Amino acid sequence: MGFRTLDDMELSGKVVLTRVDINVPVENGRVTDTTRIDRIVPTVRDLRAAGARVVLLAHFGRPKGKVVPEMSLKQVVPSLSDALGVEVGFADGNYGQAVSGMEDGDVLLFENVRFNPGEESDDEGFARRLAGLGDVYCNDAFSAAHRAHATTHALARMLPACAGRSMEAELKALEAALGSPRPPVAAVVGGAKVSSKLDLLANLVTKVQHLIIGGGMANTFLAAQGVDVQKSLCEHDLLDTARDIAARAEQAGCTILLPRDVVVAQEFRANPETRTVKAEEVPEGWMILDAGPDSVMHIRTVLDGCATLVWNGPLGAFEMEPFDRATTAAAQHAAKLTRDGALVSVAGGGDTVAALNHAGVAEDFTYISTAGGAFLEWMEGKELPGVAALSA
Point out which residues bind ligand 3PG (CB under 6 A): 21, 23, 62, 143-144, 147, 372-373
Give me the least distance between CB of 18 and Mg ion, in Å please: 20
Q: In angstroms, rounded to a whole number, what is the distance separating the alpha carbons of residues 386 and 315? A: 31
In contact, 105 and 44? CB cutoff 8 Å: no
Give 31 or 287: the residue with its C-beta nearer to ligand 3PG: 31
Give 141 or 213: the residue with its C-beta nearer to Mg ion: 141
In contact, 136 and 162? CB cutoff 8 Å: yes
Give me the least distance between CB of 190 and Mg ion, in Å please: 18
Give me the least distance between CB of 388 and Mg ion, in Å please: 19
In contact, 17 and 138? CB cutoff 8 Å: yes
The reply on whether position 373 binds Mg ion by CB under 5 A is yes
| Nearest residue to 208 (alpha-carbon basis) of 302, 293, 294, 330 | 302
Give me the least distance between CB of 59 and ligand 3PG, in Å please: 7
* Helix (DSSP H) and strand (DSSP E) numbers for the chain: 15, 17
Give 53 or 147: the residue with its C-beta nearer to ligand 3PG: 147
Instruction: Indicate which of ligand 3PG, Mg ion, none lies near residue 66 (CB less than 5 to 8 Å, by partner kind).
Output: none
CA end-to-end distance (rounded Å), the chain:
11
Give 61 or 372: the residue with its C-beta nearer to Mg ion: 372
Report CA Rg, the chain: 23
Q: Answer yes or no: 193 catalytic.
A: yes
Q: In angstroms, rounded to a whole number, what is the distance separating the alpha carbons of residues 59 and 25? A: 13
φ/ψ region of 212 (left if φ > 0, alpha if ψ in -120 to 50, else beta) reads beta
The reply on whether position 61 binds Mg ion by CB under 5 A is no
Give me the least distance between CB of 143 and ligand 3PG, in Å please: 5
> Three-state DSSP class for 310?
strand
Give the active site residue among 190, 292, 348, 350: 350
Q: Answer yes or no: 36 catalytic.
A: yes
With both helix axes pointing from N to C terminus, report the angle between 41-49 and 77-84 in degrees, rounded to the nearest 10.
Answer: 60
Question: What is the x/- site pattern for Mg ion, positions 326-365, by CB under 5 A?
Answer: ----------------------------------------
* H-state helical runs in 18-147: 35-39, 41-49, 77-84, 95-100, 117-120, 124-131
Give the active site residue among 193, 260, 300, 382: 193
Answer for which of 61, 184, 272, 372 binds Mg ion (CB under 5 A) is: 372
Give the active site residue among 36, 53, 147, 207: 36
Give 9 or 80: the residue with its C-beta nearer to ligand 3PG: 80
Residues marked as catalytic: 36, 193, 350, 373
Binding positions for Mg ion, rule: CB under 5 A:
372-373
